[in-house]
Every structure is written in C-alpha cells, then in structure tokens.
Amino acid sequence: MIDYDAKSWFGVVIRLRGSVGPRVVPRMLIAAALGGAASYLYEHHKFHTPAVAHTMIGVALGLLLVFRTNASFDRWWEGRKLLGGMVNRTRDLARQLVAYVPSDSRADVDASVRLLNAFFAVAMQGLRDEKDLAVLGDLLTTEERKKLEPVKTRASVVLTWVSTRIDRLARDGKITDARLLAMDTNVTALVDYHSGCERIVRTPIPFAYAQHIKLFVTLFCFTVPFAIVDAMKSYTPIAAAIFAFALFGIDEIGVEIEDPFGYDDNDLPIERIAATIKASMSDITNSSSS
C-alpha cells in the first residue's frame, strides 16, 4: 500500500509507483498510432466517422466504468474492514487471556498469544495461495509446522488449537464458563472475518462483466480517433492517447484493487497489519504487572 501526502498535489501527480500509467502505455501508443492513421486518412481522403455514436456510447461507457470501479473498491474496503476486525479481536482475546488466566498458567497464555500471531500469518498465506510455513519462523513450533503441512484450512486449525488451550484452562478451573464464552466469541469472530476474506478472494468479478467492459473500452478507444479527427485534425494522436489513458486507466485501477490481499502497490498493507498485531500482543502480554 502506498503512503502519500494527499495535500501534496504535485507530489501525487508525478509519482510513478502505484500508478497504473506504465501498464496502459502500450495501449496508449496503439491509440496514438490509430490517431495518426485517422489524421492521415482525413488529410488525404477526408475520411472520418460521425461523432454522434461515440458521444452517446461514451455516457453508457462512463457509467459502466463507474460501476466497475465501485465494485472493486467495495471489495478493497470490505477487505480492510475484515482485517481491522481481526486486529481488534486478537487484541481483545489477548487482553482476556492476560487478565483472566492466573499467573501460574502463563505458559498457556504465551502459547495462545503466539498462536494468534500465527493465525494471522497463516490466514494471509492462504489468501495469497502460499504454502511455505518455514517463513513464519518461531510463530510455529516444529511439531505444529508438521501438523499443518498437509492441511488445507490451516488458519482454522490454528484457531482450533487456541480454542483447545482455552477449553483446557476452563476444565482445569482456571477460568469461569462465562469468561470461556467471552473468549470463544472472539475466536468465532476471527473465523467469520477470515471466511469473509476468503469470500473476496474466491469470488472474482464475474467474467462476462469484466470481459464486456474491456471489449467496450477497447472498441471505444481504438475507434474514437476516426470520430474526433474532424475536430482535432493533427492533434488526433494526442487526443486519442489521452482518451486511452483515462478509460484504460480506470479499468486497470479496478483490476488492481479487486483482490486486495496480494502484493500490488495498491493492495492492503498486510505486513504492516501483521506487525501491528504482533506489537499489540507483545504490549498486552508485557503489561500485566499485578
């Protein structure tokens, strides 16, 4: 995710990292080349097409692109809310463990907090279709890593380990049933948030919708030079390239943010959120002085 100063107009405009501009340059060049061809045909043969069709279609295309971008942003924003929910619930569950569990069971508290960090890391690996548990380091023991290797729903299994530890504390009389229920509510919420993230990843924008928009934009941008050449004359290649940048760029933004859990510049800051959770866990577990 790109950090930037929204008040710095010039700084935002000239920044290339995070921009979709470089990815649409090839299509801009094609549009400019077609603009050059349109300009040549108009100059030598007075060939051009009526602009009325593109004027009318442009309105519909604009609305279609707005819906496309809004659908992608909704997915991006929902993903951010789900990750925020994970942060809140892991913090709250760590608070409950530290506050409710007696100090003589501190080992169970520390292990449960470690597993909460592991849950988030494993959950993000699943959303990114990654398998290597070794990169998680000391978040998992060697035995836990071996148990998870053949498992597909790894995040759910890690949360099951947390629930098992909490249940054992209740059976040993370390926490009351009411507190067990409060903790289990947080674990259930983590399952729900993770399932919501999986829903976003596993349910892409319908193919027919995505394909139709791309075809619509391509036809519009690659034919518009012949409709504007009567007005733009020799400036047609420049105008065509600007059209292509605007319309292809909007579609490309939707493509980049519709799956917000990846490594694109405009995806959600997964590593930063993981670090926030880890720091919160550390602060909470180290705060019990009484």
Over residues 73-84, the pLDDT tens digits come to 999 999 999 999
- Residue 47 and residue 185 share a domain: no
- Residue 237 and residue 112 share a domain: no
- Residue 155 and residue 68 share a domain: no
- Residue 241 and residue 98 share a domain: no
The string of pLDDT tens digits covering residues 127-186 is: 999 999 999 999 999 999 999 999 999 999 999 999 999 999 999 999 999 999 999 999
Instruction: Look at residue 159 and tell me if it is in a domain.
Output: yes
Give the separation between CA 129 and CA 146, rounded to whole angstroms. Answer: 18
| Rounded mean pLDDT, 272-290 | 85
In the chain, what percentage of residues exceed pLDDT 90? Answer: 71
Give the separation between CA 82 and CA 90, rounded to whole angstroms. Answer: 12
Give the separation between CA 22 and CA 257, rounded to whole angstroms. Answer: 16
How many domains, in total, are found in the chain? 2
Instruction: Look at residue 45 and tell me if it is in a domain.
Output: yes
Residue 234 pLDDT > 80: yes
Give the separation between CA 268 and CA 90, rounded to whole angstroms. Answer: 19
The chain-wide mean pLDDT, for the chain, equals: 91
The string of pLDDT tens digits covering residues 6-30 is: 778 788 788 888 888 889 999 999 9
Instruction: Look at residue 120 and tell me if it is in a domain.
Output: yes
| Rounded mean pLDDT, 101-115 | 91
Instruction: Look at residue 218 and tell me if it is in a domain.
Output: yes
Q: pLDDT class for 98, splitting at 50, 70, 90?
A: very high
Instruction: Look at residue 85 and tell me if it is in a domain.
Output: no
- Residue 274 and residue 165 share a domain: yes
- Residue 132 and residue 32 share a domain: no
- Residue 33 and residue 139 share a domain: no
| Rounded mean pLDDT, 259-265 | 91
- Residue 243 and residue 231 share a domain: yes
The pLDDT of residue 288 = 64
Domain span including residue 227: 23-74+205-257
- Residue 181 and residue 114 share a domain: yes
- Residue 57 and residue 139 share a domain: no
Residue 189 pLDDT > 60: yes
Instruction: Look at residue 13 and tell me if it is in a domain.
Output: no
Give the separation between CA 164 and CA 167, rounded to whole angstroms. Answer: 5
DSSP calls for 42-107: HHHH-----SHHHHHHHHHHHHHHHHHHHHHHHHHHHHHHHHHHHHHHHHHHHHHHHHHS-GGGHH
Are the C-beta atoms of 98 and 287 separated by less than 8 Å? yes
Instruction: Look at residue 44 and tell me if it is in a domain.
Output: yes
Locate 286 and state its tokens.
Answer: 């180290």
Q: pLDDT class for 55, splitting at 50, 70, 90?
A: confident
- Residue 222 and residue 194 share a domain: no
- Residue 99 and residue 38 share a domain: no
Are the C-beta atoms of 50 and 223 separated by less than 8 Å? no
Instruction: Look at residue 265 and tell me if it is in a domain.
Output: no
